[in-house]
A and B are shown apart, each in its own frame.
Chain A
Amino acid sequence: FMHTRSCGKYDPPPAKYGGRHTVTLIPGDGIGPELLNHVKEVFRFCCVPVDFEVVHVNSAVETEDDINNAITAIRRNGVALKGNIETKHTMAPSVKSRNNLLRTSLDLYANVMHCQSLPGVQTRHKNIDIMIIRENTEGEYSNLEHENVSGVVESLKIITRTNSLRIAEYAFQLAREKGRKRVTAVHKANIMKLGDGLFLQCCREVASDYPDLTFDSMIVDNTTMQLVSKPQQFDVMVMPNLYGNVVSNVCAGLVGGPGLVPGANYGRDYAVFETATRNTGKSIAGKNIANPTAMLLASCMMLDHLKLYDYASMIRNAILSTMNETRLHTADLGGQGTTSEVVQSIMRVIQTTAS
């Protein structure tokens, strides 16, 4: 079994209703709702031919009806934009993470994150340009836990050949398409010899089909050490689920924080866009201080996915202009701007560019 669907041959779901696309919108908790409202505002302002079908998911209830509705809506529309749904771990362990359920049900096997240093943002490291491709459905997030003996819990980490080949194939395809030179597999195969060993082996197999790209591997603890001292050495990185969590958060922190980086979850048939670090941001919710950049850039990625490239570039350029030239920053970047001020600035830039 070899997954051969190339990123370029993708056909977005047809814009059946008057040439307009319908996209599922899941507000989530914390800062999700307000940021997605801003996305809707910007889209309306730019007359983007996208209609949002809003599906609310209540994280406080135990039943899975809400999340199942959301999943059905995404199956119908093919594309979604979401905020993070909170996981209350005061509830029983059988109440699984809603975000995880969504990813596994829709088989969104690849989580893609592009970390780039932005000239307008002050950071300790410069010139970072890393693409992180993280396996999104199995590994440590398999939700298989049991307590056979009281006080002894076993959690299963599952690695399969199929999924490892699939994610490796995705990584190399993407690297080739974007003109990147090197793919690094991150693992801990010296300790988890069978599990991560299988992952590494699959990566090597796929690498042999891409002689134009250099392939190497690095152990995860060394990777984090290298990332904080010399992050410029990394190009494209591919890894299983948990290491992906660590590495993507480290990289997001290196380029300026959770408010800046968008993330995408791709499956064979569906795509869901969100912020890369998936924070709920409960402590800053409703205060108009959250950074809208990550969510807005995620919506641009969604527009690219729907092949509405012109709208995507227009909005993206306006965002980057506000970030790098006007330098209007929110509190997380050390600035004084409010969320609405930043969004207004972006819309002003769009207006002046369009006229």
Chain B
Amino acid sequence: MAGTAWRSAILNLLKQWGLSLYGKDKIKAQEVSQVVGALKKESLQPRTFTRGIHTVTLIPGDGIGPEISTAVMKIFEVAKAPIQWEERNVTAIQGPGGKWMIPPDAKESMDRNKIGLKGPLKTPIAAGHPSMNLLLRKTFDLYANVRPCASIEGYQTPYTDVNLVTIRENTEGEYSGIEHVIVDGVVQSIKLITEQASQRIAEYAFEYAKNNQRASVTAVHKANIMRMSDGLFLRTCREAAEKHKDVKFNEMYLDTVCLNMVQDPSQFDVLVMPNLYGDILSDLCAGLIGGLGVTPSGNIGANGVAIFESVHGTAPDIAGKDMANPTALLLSAVMMLRHMGLHGHAQKIETACFDVIRDKKALTKDLGGNSKCSEFTDAICQRVRELV
């Protein structure tokens, strides 16, 4: 960084820590080393910085969305995380020219804050507009879907040693939506693979591996059958691997990955793949650790936008009854904290959550217990207080 950048960064951090270079609050040598250490650890990214508090757009969603969002906000407050929430609604509206879009205040908030947390959104069947998730994806060009899957110690599944991350290309591939009826009874669906999108996702996969201390990246493909399309994807992954020699790279057929995943998931680290394989594999891995109710997920977009979300449904049958499980949204929020560099708070909240699940005293119904959502949340808050 340039000299002036260092100076303002140091001054900002001092302000954040309530210290000053002058007057009675003059800093001591020990505090200087604290600041330098913080500079080295925390990545300083351009964010909305009001006395060190980050503003995040919160989209509660539908069904159980509002209650689990409230739970997450409560836990964050107890953990004293420097997050300020800006709630927005993203129900699609029709803009000028009849094109469906998300409400402009939601878009403006996201563009300003860059970070978002989203609950489940319902896709009404006959509303005439495309799925909300699709709309968000297109609006913010969310090209990477990241799902870290790690076995939860308190929540028993037949698989105990899962610790992998699936990175799925989220804009093209088999989900390009281009289909035609050639003649009556013959349908053609087009799978689109472009060099640009493949490069972007491959780059992101290696960066993620580096930033999160992961040892290897595996490209999942079916280039023996889809020679040109998956071949292109594979080639771009290889090129990206050349640029990141410190991360191991290998390639594996989709069927081999599926076969080995259910026998020994511990052999996998970071997996990168096109859209369809990513959809199937990320859900497969979610199933290994306990389902969508406990799996976090993040979507990375262009221009530094990142939206973290819970991937389960809106569960309209239990909405409003204080029965929902906020774990998925909470873990996604933890992922968000890590993305923002707030590792300390992330660790605290995550540990509290896992401890409560391991204790088994206050689990929601889907985790095998009998407690209400509020009781589960309170248990986590209590644990957070103990950990502070």
A interface residue numbers (CB < 8 A to B): 87, 89, 93, 96-97, 100, 124-125, 140-141, 143, 145-147, 150-162, 188, 191-195, 198, 220-222, 224-229, 242-243, 245-246, 248-250, 252-254, 257-258, 277-279
* 14 further interface pairs, Cβ-Cβ under 8 Å (given A157-B191, A221-B283): A89-B223, A93-B231, A155-B226, A159-B189, A191-B174, A193-B179, A194-B189, A195-B179, A198-B185, A227-B284, A228-B284, A249-B255, A250-B259, A250-B284
List of 6 A-B pairs having minimum Cβ-Cβ separation, nearest first: A225-B287, A161-B185, A151-B195, A253-B262, A93-B227, A221-B283
Q: How far is the CA of A351 from the CA of B91 in the complex (A)?
A: 73
Which residues of chain B (197-234) have a CB below 8 Å from chain A?
Answer: 222-229, 231-232, 234
Partner of B254, one of A221, A246, A252: A246
Residues of A within 8 A of B180 (CB): 194
B193 to chain A minimum Cβ distance, whole angstroms, is 5
Binary contact track B227-245/A, C-beta < 8 Å → 1, others 0 = 1110110100000000000
Residues of B within 8 A of A194 (CB): 179-181, 187, 189
User: Is B263 touching A155 in the complex (CB atoms < 8 A)?
Assistant: no
- The prevalent SS among residues of A at the interface is mixed
Which residues of chain B (255-295) have a CB below 8 Å from chain A?
Answer: 255-256, 258-263, 276, 279-284, 286-288, 291-292
Residue of B nearest to A162 (CB): B185
B227 to chain A minimum Cβ distance, whole angstroms, is 4
Q: List 10 A-B contacts (CB under 8 A).
A: A93-B227, A145-B227, A151-B196, A157-B190, A160-B186, A221-B284, A228-B284, A229-B287, A249-B258, A253-B259
Q: How far is the CA of A140 from the CA of B187 in the complex (A)?
A: 12
A239 to chain B minimum Cβ distance, whole angstroms, is 12
Residues of A within 8 A of B280 (CB): 220-221, 224, 243, 246
Residue of B nearest to A157 (CB): B189
Q: How far is the CA of A196 from the CA of B181 in the complex (A)?
A: 12
CB of B30 within 8 Å of the partner chain? no
CB of B188 within 8 Å of the partner chain? yes
CB of B100 within 8 Å of the partner chain? no
Residue of B nearest to A226 (CB): B287
CB of B194 within 8 Å of the partner chain? yes
Q: How far is the CA of A191 from the CA of B187 in the complex (A)?
A: 14
B interface residue numbers (CB < 8 A to A): 157-159, 174-175, 177, 179-181, 184-196, 222-229, 231-232, 234, 254-256, 258-263, 276, 279-284, 286-288, 291-292
Partner of B287, one of A224, A245, A277: A224
User: Is A229 touching B291 in the complex (CB atoms < 8 A)?
Assistant: yes
Residues of A within 8 A of B190 (CB): 154-157
User: Is B193 touching A158 in the complex (CB atoms < 8 A)?
Assistant: no
User: Is A195 touching B255 in the complex (CB atoms < 8 A)?
Assistant: no
A340 to chain B minimum Cβ distance, whole angstroms, is 25
Residues of A within 8 A of B260 (CB): 253
Residue of B nearest to A221 (CB): B283
A321 to chain B minimum Cβ distance, whole angstroms, is 24
Residues of A within 8 A of B159 (CB): 124, 228
Q: How far is the CA of A158 from the CA of B188 in the complex (A)?
A: 5
User: Is B259 touching A257 in the complex (CB atoms < 8 A)?
Assistant: yes
Q: A160-B186, A246-B255 are in contact. Are A155 and B287 (CB under 8 A)?
A: no
* Residue of B187, B228, B254 most packed against chain A (CB within 10 A): B187
User: Is B226 touching A145 in the complex (CB atoms < 8 A)?
Assistant: yes
Q: How far is the CA of A141 from the CA of B258 in the complex (A)?
A: 18
Q: How far is the CA of A125 from the CA of B179 in the complex (A)?
A: 39
Residue of A nearest to B192 (CB): A154
Residues of B within 8 A of A195 (CB): 179, 187-189
Q: A100-B225, A140-B225, A246-B254 are in contact. Are A155 and B259 (CB under 8 A)?
A: no
Q: A225-B286, A245-B254, A277-B255 are in contact. Are A156 and B189 (CB under 8 A)?
A: yes
A295 to chain B minimum Cβ distance, whole angstroms, is 17
User: Is A161 touching B191 in the complex (CB atoms < 8 A)?
Assistant: no
User: Is A125 touching B158 in the complex (CB atoms < 8 A)?
Assistant: yes
Partner of A157, one of B174, B255, B283: B174
Residues of A within 8 A of B177 (CB): 191
Residues of B within 8 A of A243 (CB): 280
Q: A140-B191, A155-B193 are in contact. Are A221 and B185 (CB under 8 A)?
A: no
User: Is A93 touching B259 in the complex (CB atoms < 8 A)?
Assistant: no
A50 to chain B minimum Cβ distance, whole angstroms, is 30
Residues of B within 8 A of A140 (CB): 174, 191, 222, 225-226
User: Is A152 touching B192 in the complex (CB atoms < 8 A)?
Assistant: yes
B40 to chain A minimum Cβ distance, whole angstroms, is 39
Residues of B within 8 A of A225 (CB): 283-284, 286-287, 291-292
